[in-house]
């Protein structure tokens, strides 16, 4: 039988060496025995060793109660830290403390100065971090008032959570960088630009992360006591979303450069003296974003207001909406698929970018009337769109100098019965849906698309059927004046623009044929580009980017064009004949 003694001895040795190979974790407690309050003094610790991860050994540290004040000089890393009623001073400069994993906690305690980095879970209960804070893990503020009084970098993937009943105060103003998430769950975020010796009046939330408010009316973002006149800047790329109240003081200013999204049922209410949007403010998921009705409050939109279907964006009755003056909407973009409400809404002239989608509507918050009931002028700066089967009927005639887009499935009716006059003196109309009017007078710009005009069209500008290419339909008559141009795109022998007219076509002006995608027509190839019930007159000019000539082919109900340049083979035979004739003539002379 083989001896087992050496094998057993080997196993015992390996077992004894395992702690050395894999390291160990030591729990140490502050005793302060040395009396110098120095972290780096071994005899201030229960283990008589300075806690600092390394050499396979990691530390978890407990400080207090009772209270203690500790000075940390140098750079130290530990796994976990539990402080209760204690102060830890990291004396600035290169001095730092890093929590490698956690869990850690600050209860009625402060970290003062230097650099503080947490990579695990840190729980705050009346905790203060007056240091340069970098969070790569999770910080949970569970109760009391918790304060960040230095710079803050919340990295991507990291989170700061403020529980119900707790508060987090950003104390020194300036810029706080959030690339992760900050979550309020029925909690308060206090903004302080004057604390800790600061003298500014602005707090900026920067970075690519989000400040998310749970579905609770108890969420509040407001200024701390003594901060009258504070400005909150939601920086470009940063998002504030959810439900709750922002502001609460008529001296509070909100400057949104990023995204603000009311996307919880309880909605967001902004109660501030001045709200300026140069980013995106939106209500989605059936929620409401409300600018509170406070006398003297102003709301200015230089960015985008987006209202999703079944959602609402409301500007309070006492609030001054600076983009709307004298029945004119100016500046900014408004994408409305739900309800956009403001007091006295009765837009006559649009000089903004305004789109209605589906059942989206602008509404007078005072009378509940359609805010576009008297819409009659889309100005030179105006961009007006009907999208996703939207319908709008004006109260009378309509003039366009800017850009109008009527998408497929949408209807724009001019006048109470759709028999008013629509005039265009410049800009463009893209008609892929339906435009209903008694007469459309085109004196400038262009009309294009694959939709249907119910009414008569008078063209003294540019008509471009199709979307390169396609068919534009006119359920009425078509008159082209001397200054009018009909632009037809031809992509192949079977794909080209068509102007389909149910009534009479009276022609003058110019027919312009454009070959698309490098297409070259064949000799005598025909293209039927217009249909009608009858016609009169003729185009005064025919232009084209194709080499060669064209001829019109007119029938009782259509007009086509035929490419009549000689075939390349014809030119070759003709040239060969001339060459042969010349050669024959030279030989005849030589025989003489």
Q: Convert the pLDDT of each residue in 249-300 to its tens digit.
A: 889 999 999 999 999 999 999 999 999 999 999 999 999 999 999 888 999 9
The better pLDDT of the pair 585, 472 is held by 472
| Residue range 212-238: mean pLDDT, rounded | 94
- Kindly tell me if the per-residue pLDDT of 585 is higher than 90: no
- The percent of residues above 90 in pLDDT, for the chain, comes to 85
- Kindly tell me if the per-residue pLDDT of 246 is higher than 50: yes
- Kindly tell me if the per-residue pLDDT of 505 is higher than 90: yes
> Which DSSP string do the residues of 550-586 spell out, in sequence order?
EEEEE-SSEEEEEE-SPPHHHHHHHHHHHHHHHHHHH
Domain spans, the chain: 243-372, 460-569
- Kindly tell me if the per-residue pLDDT of 168 is higher than 70: yes
pLDDT at 67: 80
- Kindly tell me if the per-residue pLDDT of 18 is higher than 80: no
Closest C-alpha among 221, 218, 257 to residue 237? 257
- Kindly tell me if the per-residue pLDDT of 12 is higher than 80: no
For the question of whether the overall pTM of this predicted structure is more than 0.75, the answer is yes
* Rounded Cα–Cα distance for residues 496 and 468 (Å): 8
pLDDT at 94: 86
* Rounded Cα–Cα distance for residues 240 and 259 (Å): 6
pLDDT at 210: 98
* Cβ neighbours of 568 (radius 10 Å): 9
Tokens (6 digits) for 478: 């078509």
Alpha-helix residue ranges (DSSP H) falling in 80-149: none
pLDDT at 200: 77
pLDDT at 370: 97
pLDDT at 576: 46
Q: Give the model confidence (pLDDT) of 150-162 as tens digits.
A: 999 999 999 999 9
pLDDT at 540: 98
* Rounded Cα–Cα distance for residues 60 and 97 (Å): 13
Q: Give the model confidence (pLDDT) of 63-86 as tens digits.
A: 998 889 999 999 999 999 999 999
pLDDT at 187: 98
Burial (0-12, 13-18, 19+ Cβ within 10 Å), 412: buried
| Residue range 193-217: mean pLDDT, rounded | 88
| 42-46, 300-304, 533-537, 577-581, range with the lowest pLDDT | 577-581
| Residue range 361-380: mean pLDDT, rounded | 97
pLDDT at 96: 97
Question: Residues 119, 138: contact at Cβ < 8 Å?
Answer: no
Helix (H) or strand (E) holding 14: helix 5-22
Burial (0-12, 13-18, 19+ Cβ within 10 Å), 346: middle
Helix (H) or strand (E) holding 256: strand 244-256
| Residue range 549-577: mean pLDDT, rounded | 76
- Kindly tell me if the per-residue pLDDT of 591 is higher than 50: no
- Kindly tell me if the per-residue pLDDT of 573 is higher than 50: no
- pLDDT grade for 248, boundaries at 50, 70 and 90: confident
Compute φ and ψ for 367, nearest 5 degrees. -110, -10
Go through 381-405 and write b for each residue having 16 or more CB atoms within 10 A of its CB, e for each that does not. bbbbbbbbebebbbbebbbbbbbbb
pLDDT at 580: 46
| Residue range 16-21: mean pLDDT, rounded | 41
| 98-112, 396-410, 573-587, range with the lowest pLDDT | 573-587
| Residue range 546-565: mean pLDDT, rounded | 95
- Kindly tell me if the per-residue pLDDT of 103 is higher than 60: yes
- pLDDT grade for 568, boundaries at 50, 70 and 90: low
* Rounded Cα–Cα distance for residues 164 and 72 (Å): 33
Please give the mean pLDDT across all residues of the chain.
92
- Kindly tell me if the per-residue pLDDT of 579 is higher than 80: no
- Kindly tell me if the per-residue pLDDT of 570 is higher than 50: no
- pLDDT grade for 420, boundaries at 50, 70 and 90: very high
């Amino acid at each position: 039988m083989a001896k087992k003694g050496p094998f057993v001895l080997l196993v015992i040795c390996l077992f004894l060496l395992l702690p050395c190979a894999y390291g160990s974790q030591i729990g140490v407690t502050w005793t302060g025995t040395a009396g110098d309050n120095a972290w780096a003094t071994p005899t201030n610790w229960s283990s008589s060793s300075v806690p600092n991860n390394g050499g396979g050994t990691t530390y978890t540290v407990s400080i207090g109660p009772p209270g203690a004040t500790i000075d940390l000089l140098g750079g130290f890393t530990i796994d976990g830290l539990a402080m209760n009623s204690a102060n830890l001073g990291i004396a600035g400069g290169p001095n730092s403390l890093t929590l490698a994993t956690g869990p850690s906690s600050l209860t009625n305690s402060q970290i003062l100065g230097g650099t503080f980095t947490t990579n695990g879970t840190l729980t705050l209960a009346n905790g203060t971090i007056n240091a340069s804070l970098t969070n790569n893990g999770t910080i949970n503020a569970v109760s009391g008032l918790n304060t960040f009084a230095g710079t803050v970098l919340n990295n991507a993937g990291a989170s700061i959570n403020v529980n119900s009943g707790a508060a987090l105060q950003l104390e020194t103003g300036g810029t706080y960088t959030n690339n992760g998430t900050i979550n309020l769950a029925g909690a308060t975020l206090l903004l302080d630009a004057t604390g800790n010796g600061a003298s500014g009046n602005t707090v900026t939330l920067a970075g690519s992360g989000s400040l998310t408010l749970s579905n609770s009316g108890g969420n509040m973002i407001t200024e701390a006591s003594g901060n009258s006149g504070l400005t909150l800047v939601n920086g470009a790329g940063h998002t504030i979303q959810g439900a709750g109240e922002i502001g609460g003081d008529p001296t509070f200013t909100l400057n949104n450069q990023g995204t603000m999204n009311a996307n919880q049922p309880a909605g967001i209410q902004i109660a501030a003296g001045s709200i300026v949007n140069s980013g995106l403010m939106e209500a989605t998921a059936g929620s409401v974003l409300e600018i509170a009705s406070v006398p003297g409050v102003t709301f200015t939109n230089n960015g985008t207001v987006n209202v999703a279907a079944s959602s609402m964006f409301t500007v309070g009755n006492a609030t001054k909406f600076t983009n709307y003056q004298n029945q004119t909407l100016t500046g900014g973009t408004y994408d409305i698929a739900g309800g956009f409400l403001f007091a006295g809404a009765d837009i006559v002239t649009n000089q903004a970018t305004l789109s209605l989608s589906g059942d989206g509507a602008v509404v007078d918050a005072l009378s509940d009337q359609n805010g576009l009931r008297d819409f009659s002028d889309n100005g030179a700066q105006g961009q007006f769109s009907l999208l996703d089967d939207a319908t709008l009927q004006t109260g009378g005639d309509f003039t366009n100098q800017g850009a109008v887009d009527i998408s497929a499935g949408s209807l724009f009716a001019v006048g109470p019965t759709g028999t008013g006059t629509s005039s265009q003196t410049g800009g463009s109309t893209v008609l892929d849906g339906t435009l209903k009017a008694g007469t459309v007078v085109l004196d400038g710009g262009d009309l294009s698309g694959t939709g249907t005009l119910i009414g008569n069209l008078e063209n003294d500008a540019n008509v471009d059927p199709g979307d390169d290419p396609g068919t534009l339909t006119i359920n009425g008559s078509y008159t082209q004046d001397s200054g009018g141009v009909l632009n037809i795109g031809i992509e192949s022998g079977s794909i080209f623009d068509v102007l389909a007219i149910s009534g009479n076509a009276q022609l003058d002006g110019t027919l312009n044929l454009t070959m698309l995608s490098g297409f070259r027509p064949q000799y005598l190839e025909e293209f039927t580009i217009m249909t009608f019930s009858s016609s009169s007159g003729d185009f005064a000019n025919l232009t084209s980017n194709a080499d060669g000539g064209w001829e019109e082919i007119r029938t009782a109900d259509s007009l086509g064009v035929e490419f009549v340049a000689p075939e390349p083979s014809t030119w070759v035979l003709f040239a060969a004949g001339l060459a042969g004739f010349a050669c024959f003539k030279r030989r005849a002379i030589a025989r003489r």
